[in-house]
Chains A and B, each alone.
Chain A
């Protein structure tokens, strides 16, 4: 394992972590403020990717397509809020899990009907299609750098909105005591809708940004959803900072584990058994990490303040 390869894999891990953060941030906000467990969040990520496929092909421009896809994802998310989620806020978690599970079945299959089961892709935009030379002449795609940059920018924006604006203040207040915020005269329904719209946009943005580097296919949201759960649990539910730190950790551990576990194990055992164990161990690594974190800190690494 050379330094160059390590560097590339660390960048891959960061980029994966940023993607996870975008999905997990929306999920943890929705859960933290509304006490609402939204399994359909992963489907909204998938939808963002599919909409990007359609709109980029339609307009011929990546940026324009991205904007249109985001708008469409937002409209769709608000429609879902109006039709389904709104009626579930008062229900227990079991009902929320089931209803959003039903949504996953519907939308995964619906996507198959509309776009077909074959994987689709979005071309990498022209102005980001080059490579950046890292040390000793190793190239790394510009688009992946752009993805990391965009994710960091969104993270910064989120921090600003949540920590420095009035809406963010209400959000934090809502997360620690929603009935009290409502009693103080804030329209909690409107606040919920803003949070929800925000979360949907983030998931859709992540999906659209991932479309050029991942294959766009039905069910792509499910994997991300479960990883986002792991991120939220490790980071502490309702905490954006926790989600950010945990997403980077999960992204790095998963990527580095998959690429270097074999070599690491080969120090102790023969090549075939190292390959078999490595494959099993590297796919289980983040779950083991989660188990260890929970065993030591059941509240997560950085639990949000004010929650009990």
Chain B
């Protein structure tokens, strides 16, 4: 840690770039914080709900970006954590316990446990096998939720109350809920960003580039990846908690494998590994989905080819494009 400031002093060039990197997230969160104001000034009120939903998915995409972008582990079962978070929340509210300060620890605990067990097995493999196994574990949870006949089974579970925070009814108004989600997103973003900048994050990134060299240097690559996997799962569980409160409904569809694919696309759309890219990607995805589904019920026929074209012809996602634009302007 002590060498990092010294390095920054001797190499002058990275300093302005680092400031530039902070600019985009600050701008992003600033714009998001102003959204309710824009709605009260005459934007359609549906936008606030859409943005809230987008921010919830941004939390999930952000958590995925930690293992996918930073760690280089393509998890195709990440929606499982979203679903676990949502189901734990839904079940506890149904059983009469709506206090978020009690629900969240349970959500985090169960997500951590599930991530630790499945991660320990998944991380024994790599590459394509890892993709397939995470997918299969995601399906396992999906079928488990379908079999939960006491809590709706295949039909899902309707919630008749929202969570309270320390007894305060913050989620009942749209604006209140919006700011709670925004605060959670900002908190998760700060946490993941600090984590990535830390020694742990550097080892994780190094292991993505060359796992053999990192393990020869004396680090336990699998253990570091497992820790990242568990943290990522817990953050996605938080997204699940908010999703259940947002839709007042949980169903197995929350953790279908298509949802996992969508989360990957959100992270890649924004620009993989850049963290705020995942947030931008999630917002862009949900707005595009919303716009296209208003256009035609067969919006997937348009959206599918868009994904293919995006993969074939762009690199670095939205953040990459912005950076290219910014770099071109600055030079």
* Residues of A near any B CB (own CB < 8 A): 31, 35, 37, 39, 84, 87-88, 91, 93-95, 97-99, 101-110, 112-113, 222, 226, 229-230, 232-233, 237, 276, 279-280, 283-284, 287-288, 290-291, 294-295, 298
Is B133 in contact with A294, judged by CB distance below 8 angstroms?
yes
Is B124 in contact with A97, judged by CB distance below 8 angstroms?
no
Is B304 in contact with A105, judged by CB distance below 8 angstroms?
yes
CA distance A116 to B247 in the complex (A): 29
Asked if B152 is at the interface of the complex by the 8 Å CB criterion, the answer is no
Asked if B15 is at the interface of the complex by the 8 Å CB criterion, the answer is no
Minimal Cβ-Cβ distance residue in A for B117: A291
Q: Distance in Å from the Cβ of A247 to the closest Cβ of chain B? A: 15
Is A102 in contact with B121, judged by CB distance below 8 angstroms?
no
Is A105 in contact with B136, judged by CB distance below 8 angstroms?
no
Task: Count A-B pairs with CB separation below 8 Å.
Answer: 129
Contacts A233-B132, A294-B121 given; does A109 touch B304 at CB 8 Å: yes
Task: Please name all residues of chain A whose beta carbon is closer than 8 Å to the beta carbon of B135 when the two chains form the complex.
Answer: 226, 229
Is B300 in contact with A98, judged by CB distance below 8 angstroms?
no
CA distance A91 to B150 in the complex (A): 45
Q: When each residue 235-271 of chain B gets 1 if its CB lies under 8 Å from chain A and 0 otherwise, what string results?
A: 0000000000000000000000110010011001000
Task: Please name all residues of chain A whose beta carbon is closer than 8 Å to the beta carbon of B146 when the two chains form the complex.
Answer: 283
Is B301 in contact with A102, judged by CB distance below 8 angstroms?
no
CA distance A87 to B143 in the complex (A): 35
Task: Please name all residues of chain B whose beta carbon is closer than 8 Å to the beta carbon of A98 when the two chains form the complex.
Answer: 261, 264-265, 268, 307, 310-311
Contacts A229-B136, A291-B121 given; does A97 touch B307 at CB 8 Å: no
Interface of A is mostly: helix
Is B136 in contact with A287, judged by CB distance below 8 angstroms?
yes
Contacts A93-B131, A108-B300, A294-B133 given; does A102 touch B311 at CB 8 Å: yes
CA distance A92 to B261 in the complex (A): 16
Minimal Cβ-Cβ distance residue in B for A112: B298
Contacts A102-B307, A113-B301, A233-B136 given; does A280 touch B131 at CB 8 Å: no
Q: Distance in Å from the Cβ of A214 to the closest Cβ of chain B? A: 18
Minimal Cβ-Cβ distance residue in A for B312: A87
Pick from A110, A229, A276, A298: contact of B149, CB under 8 Å: A276
Q: When each residue 113-142 of chain B gets 1 if its CB lies under 8 Å from chain A and 0 otherwise, what string results?
A: 000001001001101110111011101100
CA distance A88 to B132 in the complex (A): 19
CA distance A88 to B137 in the complex (A): 26
CA distance A99 to B261 in the complex (A): 10
Is B308 in contact with A103, judged by CB distance below 8 angstroms?
yes
CA distance A104 to B306 in the complex (A): 12
Minimal Cβ-Cβ distance residue in A for B128: A37
CA distance A277 to B150 in the complex (A): 11
Q: Distance in Å from the Cβ of B289 to the closest Cβ of chain A? A: 11
CA distance A279 to B144 in the complex (A): 9
CA distance A102 to B124 in the complex (A): 29
Is B131 in contact with A97, judged by CB distance below 8 angstroms?
yes
Is A101 in contact with B265, judged by CB distance below 8 angstroms?
yes
Interface size on B, residues (CB 8 A): 44
Minimal Cβ-Cβ distance residue in A for B257: A226
Is B304 in contact with A298, judged by CB distance below 8 angstroms?
no
Task: Please name all residues of chain A whose beta carbon is closer than 8 Å to the beta carbon of B118 when the two chains form the complex.
Answer: 291
Task: Please name all residues of chain A whose beta carbon is closer than 8 Å to the beta carbon of B150 when the two chains form the complex.
Answer: 276
Asked if B50 is at the interface of the complex by the 8 Å CB criterion, the answer is no
Of residues B76, B132, B150, B307, which shows the largest number of chain A Cβ atoms within 10 Å of its Cβ?
B132
Asked if B322 is at the interface of the complex by the 8 Å CB criterion, the answer is no
Task: Please name all residues of chain A whose beta carbon is closer than 8 Å to the beta carbon of B140 when the two chains form the complex.
Answer: 284, 287-288
CA distance A97 to B74 in the complex (A): 9
Task: Please name all residues of chain A whose beta carbon is closer than 8 Å to the beta carbon of B137 when the two chains form the complex.
Answer: 287, 291
Contacts A93-B74, A283-B143, A284-B144 given; does A101 touch B261 at CB 8 Å: yes
Pick from B127, B149, B311: contact of A279, CB under 8 Å: B149
Q: Distance in Å from the Cβ of B221 to the closest Cβ of chain A? A: 15
Q: Distance in Å from the Cβ of B99 to the closest Cβ of chain A? A: 28
Q: Distance in Å from the Cβ of B260 to the closest Cβ of chain A? A: 9
Q: Distance in Å from the Cβ of B305 to the closest Cβ of chain A? A: 6
Minimal Cβ-Cβ distance residue in A for B138: A226
Minimal Cβ-Cβ distance residue in B for A232: B132
Is B301 in contact with A106, judged by CB distance below 8 angstroms?
yes
Is A106 in contact with B131, judged by CB distance below 8 angstroms?
no
Q: Distance in Å from the Cβ of B220 to the closest Cβ of chain A? A: 17
CA distance A290 to B139 in the complex (A): 12
Q: Distance in Å from the Cβ of B132 to the closest Cβ of chain A? A: 4
Is B128 in contact with A31, judged by CB distance below 8 angstroms?
yes
Is B147 in contact with A279, judged by CB distance below 8 angstroms?
yes
Is A105 in contact with B127, judged by CB distance below 8 angstroms?
no
Task: Please name all residues of chain B whose beta carbon is closer than 8 Å to the beta carbon of A101 when the two chains form the complex.
Answer: 261, 264-265, 307
CA distance A84 to B308 in the complex (A): 8
Contacts A31-B128, A99-B312, A104-B304 given; does A230 touch B298 at CB 8 Å: no
Closest 9 CB pairs of A and B: A106-B304, A102-B307, A105-B304, A280-B147, A287-B140, A283-B143, A109-B300, A102-B308, A229-B132
Q: When each residue 146-165 of chain B gets 1 if its CB lies under 8 Å from chain A and 0 otherwise, what string results?
A: 11111000000000000000
Minimal Cβ-Cβ distance residue in B for A39: B261
Is B311 in contact with A233, judged by CB distance below 8 angstroms?
no
